[in-house]
Amino acid sequence: MNVIKAQDLHLLERRLPLFPWYVEQYIQHKLADLSPSTLLEYTRDFEMFFHWMIQEGLSSALSMDQITLFDLEQLNLQNIDTYKLHLQLRNQNSKVTRERKIASLKSLFHYLSQIAEDDDHYPLLKRNVMAKLKTQRLTNAKLMASRLHGKILEDDTEIHDFCAFIARDCITQISDNPQALHYYQMNRVRDTAIVTLILASGMRVSEVVNLDIDDIDVTKKVAHIYRKGSKDPGIKQSIFFTETGKEALVQYLQMRSIVYPHDRTEKALFLAIPRGASQAKRMSKRAIQQMVSKYAAAFGKPMLTVHKLRHSFATSYYLKNDIYKTQRQLGHASTDTTELYAQLTDKTMEAAINRL
C-alpha cells in the first residue's frame, strides 16, 4: 500500500469510533472497492451531515455516534432540501462539492437499505429518503471544461513560462524579503522538479508524493507509480515523462542529499525538512499543494492548483495525441473522463486564435 493510502487508512481507523456503529460496518464493506483516501473523505461528509442533524433537532443524540437508524428513517425530502440549502450557503462548497457530499450520503443510505441486513435478514434501514434524490452527473465534460477555462495553463508557452518562473523569475518578487529569499533559493530546484514532472507526465499529486527514488528511471524517462483506482492497487505501473521532466529531475537529484540531509532508510524522492528538524522526510501532499498555490498566485494565476497542473498537461498532451493515448497516460478507467480534454482543447485553440 502506498504512503498516502497507509496514512489515510490509519486516520480512518482512528476516526471510526466517533461514528455510529453502522458507519463502521459500511466502511469495512467499502474498503474492498474504494481507497482509504476516498472513504476518509466520505466520513468527513457524514460528520458534517450528522452534526447538522443534531443542530436541527432531527435527532435527540448528544453526539453523532449516538444517531440511530430510526433517526435516519424519519428524515423526509424537505429535510434533505434544507440540508442542500445549508451546503449552498457555505461559501467554500462549490456545486461539484455539494453534489459529491450528497452522493456520499446516497451511498451510505443505499448500503443500509439494500445491502446490510439485521439478524432476521431484514434491511438495516427500512426507509431510504435518499433514494428519491436525483444527483447530477459530475462528469459532464462541457460543464467541467467551462469551469476550468482560464484556470489552467493554456498552452505550451504558458507551461514553459510557469516552470521558468519557479526556476528563476520568482526571485524578482521576493528580493527584498530575506527569509522568503532564503527558502526560495534552498527549494527552487526541488519545486521546479515537482511542478515540471507533473506538467511533463500528468501525475496526480498523490502519485508524486508516493514516489521513491528507485521509482524513477531518468535514462528511460519512466516513473513507476501506484495508480489511483487501479484494479491491482499493490502493483506499480509505468508512466513516461518528457525530456523537460528528465532535465528538471536530474538537476534535483544532483543536490537532493546535499540540501536535504536524511536518514539512510528514507527512500522518498521528494524531501522536505520539517520545521525544527535536522533530517529531511517525505514531502507531504499538503506541502506540495501549498507550494504550487504560492507560486501560482505570484505568477498571476491564483486559481491554478496542483490538480489543475494535471489538467494543463492533459490538454497539451491531447492536442498532440488521441483520446486513447491520453486515457492511458492519465490512468483513466474509460474515455468518458478523458472527454473533458476534448472540450478543453477547443477552448485552448479558441484562446490561441484570439491571441493571434
Please indicate whether residue 182 is annotated as part of the active site. no
Query: Contact, 254 vs 265, CB < 8 A?
Result: no
Of the residues 84, 160, 307, 347, only one is catalytic, namely: 307
Of the residues 101, 228, 256, 282, only one is catalytic, namely: 228
User: How far, in whole angstroms, is CA 161 from its chain's centroid?
Assistant: 24
Edge-to-edge strand ranges of the sheet holding 216-217: 216-217, 222-225, 237-240
Q: Cβ contacts of residue 356 below 8 Å, gap of 6+?
A: none
Please indicate whether residue 332 is annotated as part of the active site. yes
Query: Contact, 10 vs 39, CB < 8 A?
Result: no
Query: Contact, 153 vs 147, CB < 8 A?
Result: no
- Give which of 204, 207, 206, 199 is closest to 162, Cα–Cα: 199
Query: Contact, 64 vs 18, CB < 8 A?
Result: yes
Please indicate whether residue 310 is annotated as part of the active site. yes
Of the residues 5, 101, 204, 285, only one is catalytic, namely: 204
Of the residues 15, 310, 311, 317, only one is catalytic, namely: 310
End-to-end Cα, the chain, rounded Å: 49
Single-letter code of the amino acid located at 232 = D
* CA distance linking residue 251 with residue 266, whole number of Å: 20
Please indicate whether residue 83 is annotated as part of the active site. no
Residues designated catalytic: 204, 228, 307, 310, 332, 341
